[in-house]
A and B are shown apart, each in its own frame.
Chain A
Amino acid sequence: MSYFGDIYKGIKTLLSGMSVTGKVFLNNKNNAITQQYPDNRETLKMFDRFRGEVVMPHNENNEHRCTGCQKCEIACPNGTIEIIWDRQVDPETGKKKKMIDQHIYHLGMCTMCGLCIEACPTDAILWAQNYENSVFDRTSLTKVLNQPGSKIMPGVED
C-alpha cells in the first residue's frame, strides 16, 4: 500500500508548497519587496552611514578642515587619493605651513573601504550618502574635493 501512500504524501507536500506561494499571491499588494527605483528618488533615503562617495565639507566661509597631512593618501589601498600640497606662509602666524592645493579623489578607483576617513585626524573628509555616481565620461569621476579658493579652517591642527 506504500505505493498509494507515496502518492498521497506527495500530493500533500505539493499542496502545502502551493499554499505558501498562494498566500503570497493573495497578499501581493502589500508584499512587494521591489522598489520602483527612479520614481522613488524623493522618498529613497540612504542610511546615514552609507558609503556613497568621499566629500570634503566646507563651511560658509569656504573653509575646510584638511591640513594636508596625507594620512588618507597613505591609508588608501588603491591610490584613489592624491594630495597636491605646498608650503605657504600662514597669514595669521606668519610661519610656513603645509597647505593643500588640490585634494584629488578618483571615484572610479575607490572601493569604498573607508580607511581614509578612519585615518583622517581632523575629520576633513566624510562619506556622502549620494548613490547616483555614474557618469558618461570617466574623467569626470576624478574630483577635486577642496573648492577653488578654499582655505583651511583656523585652529585645525594635526
Chain B
Amino acid sequence: MKIALNITKTIQDLLLGFMPEGTASILAMVIIALIYLAIFSVAGLMLVLVERKVAAWFQLRIGPNRVGPWGLLQTMADALKLVSKELTGTVKADMFLYNLAPYFVIVSSLMALAVFPFTQEFQAFDINIGIFFLIAISSIGVIGILLGGYASNNKFALIGAMRSGVQTISYELSVGLSLLTMILITGSLQLSEIVEVQKNGWLIVQGHIPAVIAFMIYMIAGTAETNRAPFDMVEAESELGAGFHTEYSGMKFAYFFLAEFINMFIIAAVAATVFFGGWLSPFGITDSIPWLGVFWFLGKTFALVFLMMWFRWTFPRLRVDQLLTLEWKYLLPLNLLNIVLMALIVWLGLTIQL
C-alpha cells in the first residue's frame, strides 16, 4: 500500500480536477488548516492528560482515572466543561484587548505547527526559512500574554504580564542563538533540509560537544519560552494567584491553557527536528517504510516533552531577577562562545559524519 504522504500536493491535485488552480490552492490550504486545527486541539488535550498522569506518577498519586477507560477522556470532559462555562471578567477591563488576547496566543502557537515535517514530505508548508519562521511566530504569543495581563484590570495579572514580557524577550535570544549554532552545520533554515542533512548522523552527534551544550541551552530557554516551571514566573500561583490569566474563564482560559501545551509540543518538536533527526529512525532501521517517520518524530518529541514535565515536577521556581541573571550572565555568554566553537568545528571539518 502506498500512503500519499505529501498531503498538500494530494489534496491540491484532487481539487484541481474540478476547479481552477487559484481556488484549488486556497481551498487546499483551508482544508489542511482545518485538519491541523482538529488534530492539534485533540492532541493538545491529550498532552494535558499526559501531563496530569505524569505529574501524578511523580507525586505518588494515581491521576485521572474516572472518565473513560483509564481516565483517557478526562480532558475531553474538562474541555466540554470549559466550553459551557460562563465567561466572566472584570468591569473596567479593556474589553477589546481582553477578548483579543487569547486568540493571539492560540493562533501563534497553531501557526508554528504548519512547518514541521512529520515524516518525509508529510509537511503542510515547507518554507525555506523554517527555523526563522518558528522563532518569529513564537514571539507573537507573548503579545497575547501581555495584552491579557494588561487588559484584564487586575493587579496580579499586570505583574504577571510584566514578568512575561521580561522573560520572553530575554529567552528569545537564547532560543534563537542555540538554534543558530546548529544552523552552522546544516547551512539551511529549511526544516526538511535540516532533516536531510542528518541522514549522516543526528546533529547532536555531528556537532558533538557544542551541540550538546546548545541542546541544553535550548531546553532551558525553551522551557522558559513556554512559561513552564521552573520558569513559570508569569503564573507563579504561590505569588500571583494565576498570573496573567487570573481574570479569564471558560473557553478563553482554555485557549491559554491549550496554547501552553501546544507550545510545549512545538519546543520539543523543534528540538527533535534540529537535534535528534526529526523523523529519521536511529541508524536508518525503518528507512524502507516512510510513514513510520511519524512514529519516530512523535516518539522523540514526546521524550522531550516528558523531560520538560520532569523539570516542572522537580524544580522550584526561580525568582524574577535570578531568571534574568541566568539568561544574561550564564546562557547568553555561553551561547555566544558556543557559536564560535561550533563555527571552528565546522570550519575545520571536525564534525562527526557517520
A residues sitting closer than 8 Å to B (CB atoms) are: 7, 14, 17-18, 20-22, 24-25, 28, 31-34, 36
Contacts and interface: CB of A to CB of B under 8 A. Distances in A.
B314 A28 contact: no
B295 interface: no
Contacts of B92: none
B313 interface: yes
Contact of A21 (B58, B61, B62): B58
Contacts, number: 38
Given A24-B59, A28-B58, A33-B60, 16 more contacts: A7-B330, A14-B314, A17-B314, A17-B315, A18-B314, A20-B314, A21-B314, A24-B57, A24-B58, A24-B60, A25-B57, A25-B310, A28-B56, A28-B60, A32-B60, A32-B62
17 contacts: A17-B315, A21-B58, A21-B310, A22-B310, A24-B58, A24-B59, A24-B60, A25-B57, A25-B58, A28-B56, A28-B60, A31-B60, A32-B60, A33-B61, A34-B60, A34-B62, A36-B65
Nearest to B311: A18
* CB-based closest 3 A-B pairs: A28-B57, A21-B314, A33-B60
Interface of B: 54, 56-62, 65, 310-311, 313-315, 330, 334
A152 to B, nearest CB: 50
A123 B178 CA distance: 76
Nearest to A36: B62
Contacts of B59: 24
Contacts of B54: 25
B321 to A, nearest CB: 17
Contacts of A28: 56-58, 60
A122 B54 CA distance: 55
Q: Identify which of B58, B65, B310 gathers the most chain A CB atoms within 10 Å of its CB.
A: B58
Given A7-B330, A14-B315, A25-B54, A34 B61 contact: yes
A26 B65 CA distance: 19
Nearest to A20: B314
Contacts of B61: 32-34
Contacts of B57: 24-25, 28
A34 B60 CA distance: 7
A135 B312 CA distance: 41
A18 B58 CA distance: 10
A149 to B, nearest CB: 46
Nearest to A7: B330
A24 to B, nearest CB: 6
B313 A21 contact: yes
Nearest to B54: A25
A14 B54 CA distance: 19
A10 B61 CA distance: 29
A33 B54 CA distance: 15
Contacts of A34: 60-62
Nearest to A14: B315
Nearest to B330: A7
Nearest to B57: A28
Contacts of A32: 60-62
A153 B310 CA distance: 65
A18 B59 CA distance: 13
Given A7-B330, A25-B54, A18 B310 contact: yes
B56 to A, nearest CB: 8
Contacts of A7: 330, 334
Nearest to A32: B62
B351 to A, nearest CB: 24
Q: Identify which of B56, B57, B315 gathers the most chain A CB atoms within 10 Å of its CB.
A: B57
A24 B61 CA distance: 10
Nearest to A29: B57
A21 B59 CA distance: 8
Contacts of A31: 60
Contacts of A36: 62, 65
A31 B57 CA distance: 8
Nearest to B59: A24
B329 to A, nearest CB: 9
B326 to A, nearest CB: 10
Contacts of A33: 60-61
B88 to A, nearest CB: 29
Contacts of B314: 14, 17-18, 20-21
A17 B310 CA distance: 10
A36 B62 CA distance: 9
A24 B57 CA distance: 7
A13 to B, nearest CB: 10
A9 to B, nearest CB: 13
A31 B62 CA distance: 9
B306 to A, nearest CB: 9
